[in-house]
Structure 1
Amino acid sequence: MSPNVPLAERLRPHLLAEVVGQQHLLGEGMALRIAFESGQPHSCILWGPPGTGKTTIARLMADAFDAQFITISAVLGGVKDIREAVEQAQVAQGNLLGSSFGTGSGGGRHTIVFVDEVHRFNKSQQDAFLPHVESGLFTFIGATTENPSFEVNSALLSRATVYVLQPLSEADLKQIVAKAQAICAVPAIETIAIERLVAYADGDARRLLNTLETLAVAAEREQRSEITDAWLLKVLGERMRRYDKGGEQFYDTISALHKSVRGSDPDAALYWLVRMLDGGADPRYMARRLIRMASEDIGLADPRALRLALDAAEVYERLGTPEGELALAECVVYLAVAPKSNAVYKAFNEAKSFVKKDGTRAVPLHLRNAPTQLMKTLDYGKNYRYAHDEAGGFAAGERYWPDDMTAPGFYRPVERGLEIRIAERLRELKRLNNQKN
């Protein structure tokens, strides 16, 4: 193979046994391994982060089944590319029909159509594969870094098995480094530099090999016999982790942050906050999410939490990065250790659900506003009891619900934080109401 071919391509496995990682799919007795050994190709979607072997596995399937392999990039392609793939599949099958979207059966060579970044195709483009997958004209393999549940239409999803690929482990990546050193002109690498290189790759084999190739070229230019940690840091600059600010990983990470706060683990919450900031998440977005957490998970158990979250957002607006990020960290720790209550959150959702299903009930006359004489004549506001004029500032026995409605009891405070006091107050008010009635 030409030395001008990228290192990642030179090291791409040509046999299933050469694949590093994904043993939960390719190991003995595992799902994809069984599929390879069966000799029967089937449509599937390979879902996983970049550089985990999706394209490699698709190519190996084509080799294993002696199939024509057609690649379509959903980033650059469209319906025209799908038509051309159908025509090529028909030719290989030995049954080219007049219509470019015709199907047929017959002998010949089978075709695998591999669609990279399939989530970038819209619904109509994805639908264009359906009749040909159903007819068996070709086997469809899609690769995606996004959750297929959201990004692949249900019709295509129902016809394909989803295989989930995992980021490569540190041991996997070190094995790939050793392979690169054995096969290609890669200089010796200091042990600590390998550790840093593996951490830099962050589970992505392609990123590892591209970086290693850059280092090898730079080392050759400087006539270096070894890649040291200090030199590696100089070449790479500040480490940037893999982070998709708009995709699955983004929402997984914010979910982990929210659940760490809810679970009262300040260290874990700080970790996920820093992961997001380090990965490039907008701190203003983070501030908005913290405000949401204060409302949803802490609520009236500690009303100061909401004020602190608002203050943290304001501090960040004034100071920006990096100084303002400390206020977000302070807020995260406070939210994590604060007493938790979702009573208001649940009450609000119950009230919304009730109102959505219920009819439009009339406002009782005594609760209506009466700014005009006509309204007063119609008894608007009549017999309304002004609470401030009553003993203790409470009009015991007064009703504030529609006349034909029983109070549902949406809000049920928990026995944590300030809501302990709130619950006591509500019990006392209920006792006073019962005495009056």
Structure 2
Amino acid sequence: MRPRTLDAMVGQRRLLAPGSALRQSVEAGQVHSMVLWGPPGCGKTTLALLLANYADASFHAISAVLSGLPEVRKVLAEAAQRFSQGRRTVLFVDEVHRFNKAQQDAFLPHIERGSILFVGATTENPSFELNSALLSRCRVHVMEAVSVDDIVVALHRALGDAEHGLGGRGLEVSEPHLRMIAEAADGDVRRALTLLEIASEIASEQDGKGRRQITEATLHQVLADRTRRFDKGGDQFYDQISALHKSVRGSNPDAAVYWLARMLDGGCDPGYLARRLTRMAIEDVGLADPRALAMAIESWEAYDRLGSPEGDLALAQLALYLASTAKSNAAYRAFAAARSDVEEYGTQDVPMHLRNAPTRLMKDLGHGRGYQYDHDADGGVALDQAGFPEAMGERIYYEPVERGLEIRLKQKLDELRRQRKRSRQAPP
């Protein structure tokens, strides 16, 4: 059922739309070296085959999982020989991100010479996985997961095609059941066709005349072990944790618990999620609601004690609470500003009045001299006592926001800072 023309491809409407740059170049036979980046089953191999057909070029495919440098060199030598005879070669490299730098570099002179039209396929972000020399010689085209509606179109074609598909087998399947298959495929056309084929093999005969119906009971058997796409170490992983973090920060509890559920469903380590949620409690909730950090630690501990599935609920409650409560990154910004000053000012001496003086010698040297014990001062604060090295002067890092508990903290600190400023400006 692999498409034999661009019009027969389902999905990729943005990339292969009539009039698009890629489509025009392919139809004109002016194919360039490229990297196709997209999820499994979106049509990367099919597009590479079509490129060879439209360019009237030989097609050769290798897999970075199965091929080593000797095989790569052999394929490149064969392509160079064909090139000398006036025929181009489309070299399709599946899972190209699995090649190391030396293996990737082997393609460079052949791409520049034009002896191969390089088409690399990857499910990983090329900017992270491919070296810059290879990327500079290729255009990166992003391919998308195929929509449910487009997968249904592919399934209809398979049911009607007697030569390459399942036509002529007397199969009957309703539109809702086709959509069930398409949804279970999770954007992967190849997976959808496989599921349809399995369903056709176990479908029961209905009327004794050779008609076979794919029923809901049939699909329950076929789709019992359906799983969603999730790469525990790739872009999808980091995109989803980013979505969870930003949903919490944006006070959207519904989105937060959705992304948490997606990651747990995909097999993400719950301990990793507990750690990231704890970070959110510190970074994004902060002192606007100090209870958030305590709840994060408790939820983490609850998961460690209960495991899944009971512990999943503790993480879900935490995500909902973090997204719903008041937010402040004031402590996060204060610490970042303090670290910046540490780097800028280097090793400054501690003011004498703030130094420790546990021995007679240190007292004689002036350590602790002039220190004012704050509990003995009016209001419990010695307002004119400096807290920073002299070269820096007094600094303000922590600026509480007017949300949650920080409203009270802001009121108190603003008043203390005003009093300290007046005390420093008062004549001696």
Alignment match, 1:314? 301
**Match of residue 128, structure 1, among 85, 106, 126:** 106
Note the aligned Cα RMSD (angstroms): 1.8
Q: Retained in 1: the 8 A contact 2:387–2:394?
A: no
Q: How far apart in 2 are the matches of 1:308 and 1:228? A: 47
Indicate conservation of the 8 Å contact 1:192/1:229, yes or no: no
Give the match's secondary structure for 1:310. Answer: helix
Amino acid at match of 1:381: G
Whether 2:95 is the aligned partner of 1:88: answer no
| 1:169 maps to which of 147, 150, 153 | 147
Q: 1:37: how far off?
A: 2.5
Return the match for 2:123 from 140, 145, 168: 145
Q: Offset at 1:220?
A: 6.8
- Note the C-alpha offset of 1:83: 0.7
Looking at structure 1, the residues matched to 204 and 69 of structure 2 have their Cα atoms a distance apart, in angstroms, of 45
Counterpart of 2:256 in structure 1 is: 269
- What secondary structure sits across from 2:310 in the alignment? coil
Note the residue ranges of structure 2 that are not aligned, 5 or more in a row: none
Shift >4 Å, 4+ stretches: 220-224
* Distance (whole Å) between structure 1 residues aligned to residue 21 and residue 330 of structure 2: 45
Calculate the TM-score normalised by the size of structure 1: 0.91
- One-letter amino acid of the structure 2 residue matched with residue 130 of structure 1: L
- 1:172-321 aligned at under 5 Å gives the runs 172-183=150-161, 184-185=165-166, 187-219=171-203, 225-321=212-308
CA 1:206–1:347 in 2, change beyond 3 Å: closer, same or farther?
A: same
The TM-score, its normalising length taken from structure 2, stands at: 0.93
CA distances 1:234-254 after superposition (whole Å, capped 9, x unpaired): 233143111111111111111
SS of the counterpart of 2:414?
A: helix
State how far apart, in whole Å, the 1-side matches of 2:245 and 2:204 are. Answer: 47
Deviations 1:347-379 (A, max 9, x none): 222222332233221122222222233222221
What number of residue pairs does the alignment pair up? Answer: 415
Q: CA deviation at 1:230?
A: 2.2
**What is the correspondence of 1:323-342 to structure 2 with a 5 Å cutoff?**
323-342=310-329
Tell me the alpha carbon deviations over residues 125-170 of structure 1, each in whole angstroms, 9 at most, x when there is no partner. Answer: 2122222212222121111111111111112112111111111111
Deviates more, 1:381-390 or 1:243-252: 381-390
Q: Secondary structure, in 3 states, of the residue corresponding to 1:25?
A: coil
**Partners of 2:258 and 2:293 in 1: how far apart?**
21
Deviations, residues 327-360 of structure 1 (Å, cap 9, x unaligned): 1111111111111111111222222233223322
Provide closer, same or farther for how the CA distance between residues 72 and 352 of structure 1 changes in structure 2, counting only shifts above 3 A.
Answer: farther
SS of 1:113's equivalent? strand
CA distance in 1, matches of 2:285, 2:307: 26
Shift of 1:30: 1.1
SS in 2 for 1:115: strand
Number of the residue aligned with 1:101: none
Change (3 A) 1:352 1:155: farther
Q: Distance in 2 between matches of 1:15 and 1:435?
A: 80
Deviates more, 1:135-144 or 1:364-373: 364-373
Identity, % of aligned positions: 54
Q: Sort the Cα spacing of 1:221 and 1:86 in 2 relative to 1 into closer, same or farther, 3 A.
A: farther
Structure-2 residue corresponding to 1:159: 137
Identify unmatched segments of 5+ residues in structure 1: 1-10, 95-106
Q: Which residue of 1 aligns with 2:34?
A: 44
Q: Deviations over 1:76-103 (max 9, x none)?
A: 2222122112201111012xxxxxxxxx
Q: Which amino acid aligns with 1:367?
A: L
